[in-house]
Structure 1
Amino acid sequence: MCRNIRTLHNFAPPATRDEIHAAALQYVRKISGSAKPSAVNAEAFDRAVAAITAVSEQLLDELTTSAPPKDRDVEAAKARVRAVRYS
């Protein structure tokens, strides 16, 4: 898994459409090896991002868990501590 793609499931508040789209875009960029596709590939690139966004939204809507939702602010603080520790 790409280390910069963050977990989107089981957070309070839930992941937004923009966050899901950003994760899909990052995924497509990673597997295509291209941050910005050529004009010839732009349509396929955009279709892939849209499809992965839709499937990811469906997945997040259907996942269930008995664990309480994680607080975004607490998790962000933990990430900052890890970043300082390992930098």
Structure 2
Amino acid sequence: MCRNIKPLFNFEPPATRNEMHDAALQFVRKISGYNAPSKANEAAFHEAVEDIEKVVRKLLKSMETNAPPRDRDVEAAKAKERSRLRFGT
């Protein structure tokens, strides 16, 4: 799957609408093969992004967990360290 789509569930603060939109956009780009659709496909492309964003919001609202919320800064630091170990400085 697309590496640019980040987990959005169980974070403090919760995922923003922008983050959900960006994830939906990346998903549609990956599935369609278009970074930017042609004029002929533009309406369908944007409609798909909106539909997926709505589903993402619904999913995140309905999910439950007993785990404590993760801290975005801590998770970002972990990802940066993994990247450093994988690719060097």
1:25 aligns with 25
Question: 1:16 is matched with which residue?
Answer: 16
- How far apart in 1 are the matches of 2:3 and 2:82? 13
Q: How far apart, CA to CA, are the structure 2 residues paired with 1:36 and 1:3?
A: 18
Structure 1 residue ranges (4+ consecutive) displaced by more than 4 angstroms after TM superposition: none
Question: Which residue number corresponds to residue 86 of structure 2?
Answer: 86
Paired residues, what number? 87
Q: Secondary structure at the match of 1:78?
A: helix
* Distance of 2:28 and 2:7 partners within structure 1: 16
**What CA distance in whole angstroms lies between the structure 1 residues aligned with 2:38 and 2:14?**
34
Matches of 2:85 and 2:4, distance apart in 1: 17
What is the alpha-carbon distance in structure 2 between the residues aligned to residue 47 and residue 27 of structure 1? 13
For the aligned residue pairs, the C-alpha RMSD in angstroms reads: 0.6
Q: Distance in 1 between matches of 2:5 and 2:23?
A: 6
CA distance in 1, matches of 2:31, 2:84: 29
Q: Please give the residue correspondences for 1:54-65 in structure 2 after superposition, counting only pairs within 5 Å.
A: 54-65=54-65
1:28 Cα deviation after fit: 0.1
**Alpha-carbon distance in structure 1 between the residues aligned to 2:67 and 2:55:** 23
- Output the TM-score relative to the length of structure 2: 0.96
**Residue 7 of structure 2 corresponds to residue 7 of structure 1:** yes
Measure the CA separation in 1 of the matches of 2:48 and 2:34: 13
Q: Give percent identity, aligned residues only.
A: 57
State the SS of the aligned residue for 1:35. Answer: coil
